[in-house]
Structure 1
Amino acid sequence: MGSSNDEIVFYTHPQSRGRVVRWMLEEIGQPYRVEVMGYGQSMKSPEYLAINPMGKVPAIVHRGVVVTETAAICAYLADAVPAAGLAPALADPLRGSYLRWLFFVAGPVEAAVTARALGQEPPPEKAGFVGYGSYEATIGLLEQIAAKASPWLLGERFSAADVYVGSQILFGLTFKTLPPQPGFLAYAQRLGEREAFKRAAAADDALVAQPAG
């Protein structure tokens, strides 16, 4: 699992959130090395736990730095490769919206969708105890954000926020954890037309299709 200092090493499984990071890697246009991890023994091996003690994918190692958590990896890569133009600079007013929507989806949206899927949403009188409040309010705002994308979350500028937020919407539509609202569907169609998305999906789909053994 060693690497040269500037090499991006990408730990993933083709049927995981690693698909989001694969798309991000294709968007930044830098070479990367893929380490496919198996669920169970491979992800729980001492060697991999030294990289991610959670024993999960995705993770990357770059310049001696380990980054886990899908949204964090997307944000890190955008900043690490500024030439790709996938993150507003610190002085850019768009930086606030960029971070806002990344964290909104990584926090409230993820929590709301998971709670709904597990049938563990709080009763209305306890909604204040959870950061998302209610599934309806959270997903309603997400649909507004998608509907206002023109064509992207930051206007004409595609960013890492579109990779992460867009992936959550694409997954939600596929697995029916999000309603097929017009704003979601139109945004998802635009995302699916990106060449980097197509390359990433094809690479992961090819891995899924490989026989076990």
Structure 2
Amino acid sequence: MSDEMVFYTHPWSRGRIARWMLEEVGADYRVETLEYGGSMKAPDYLAINPMGKVPAIVHRGVVVTECAAICAYLADAFPSAGLAPAVGDPARGTYLRWMFFAAGPLEAAVTAKSLGLLAPPEKAGQAGYGSYEDTVAALEQAVSGDGFICGERFTAADVYVGSQIGWGLQFGTVPDRPAFAAYFDRIKDRPARVRAGELDDALAAALKG
């Protein structure tokens, strides 16, 4: 089976998170750029991701979608990058906890707030995120201090959580609190993130013609 990595993306999508992770692990990959409402909904891509959304990767015949899953998969598939605590390491629980917190409650709460669809207080228990305020408070706890999600070690959880915070600060979907700004400052200049951003910016410029 081929070891080729194929990365399906669009430069103005959550594919930017996956690209950062690909650069962090040093993977060789081929880029397939898809268009909204066009090739993303074409039958050949729907066979890969029935949601018709990006990003997705195909590696050794395995399809992985959803950014948190892509980050977790790549960290395990490229262990030499050191971006995931090993099974049995107590830090792995913290790593998984906050990565999937960001993929679940955080993204749901931020999206609901942006659309004006937050659960009313009397029905907050029915929402996976509870309340927006509680979700943001939990996120603040995760990134308070001087290190990363798993202490002094940068991991794939920081790629995913950090991307959510970076976008949230840029677009105002998370409050501009000192803990968020300080955490993002610790990760924003990582060479892999800078490189990934340059690649996506160049791709966006090429698509504009």
Q: Does 1:207 align with 2:203?
A: yes
Deviation at 1:18, TM superposition (A): 0.2
Aligned to 2:178: 182
Q: Is the 8 A contact 1:147 1:182 kept in 2?
A: no
* Partner residue of 2:16 out of 14, 19, 39: 19
Deviation at 1:207, TM superposition (A): 1.2
| TM-aligned CA distance change 1:161 to 1:176, over 3 Å | same
State the AA in 2 paired with 1:130. A
Deviations 1:71-103 (A, max 9, x none): 000000000011110001111110100000011
| Alignment partners' CA distance in 2, 1:181 and 1:205 | 28
| Alignment partners' CA distance in 2, 1:156 and 1:122 | 36
Q: Does 1:79 align with 2:76?
A: yes
| Alignment partners' CA distance in 2, 1:33 and 1:157 | 29
| Alignment partners' CA distance in 2, 1:159 and 1:182 | 22
| Alignment partners' CA distance in 2, 1:95 and 1:21 | 20
Deviation at 1:122, TM superposition (A): 1.3
Matches within 5 A, 1:53-92: 53-92=50-89
Aligned to 2:160: 164
Aligned to 1:33: 30
Where structure 2 has 5 or more consecutive residues not aligned to the other structure, the ranges are: none
Give me the identity figure in percent: 67
Aligned to 1:35, the other structure's residue is in SS state strand
Deviations 1:31-78 (A, max 9, x none): 111111111111001111111010000000001100001100000000
Deviation at 1:211, TM superposition (A): 4.8
Aligned to 1:138, the other structure's residue is in SS state helix
| Alignment partners' CA distance in 1, 2:156 and 2:196 | 15
Aligned to 1:195: 191
Segments ≥4 residues shifted beyond 6 Å:
none
Aligned to 1:5: 2
| Alignment partners' CA distance in 2, 1:30 and 1:69 | 18
Q: Does 1:136 align with 2:133?
A: yes
Aligned to 2:48: 51
Where structure 1 has 5 or more consecutive residues not aligned to the other structure, the ranges are: none
Deviations 1:80-132 (A, max 9, x none): 01111000111111010000001111000011001100101111111100011
Aligned to 2:185, the other structure's residue is in SS state helix
Aligned to 1:108: 105
Deviation at 1:191, TM superposition (A): 1.2
| Alignment partners' CA distance in 2, 1:191 and 1:7 | 29
| Alignment partners' CA distance in 1, 2:53 and 2:207 | 22
Deviations 1:146-179 (A, max 9, x none): 123x321111111000000000000101111011
- State how many pairs are aligned: 209
Q: Does 1:155 align with 2:151?
A: yes
Deviation at 1:7, TM superposition (A): 1.1
Q: TM-score, normalised by structure 2?
A: 0.97
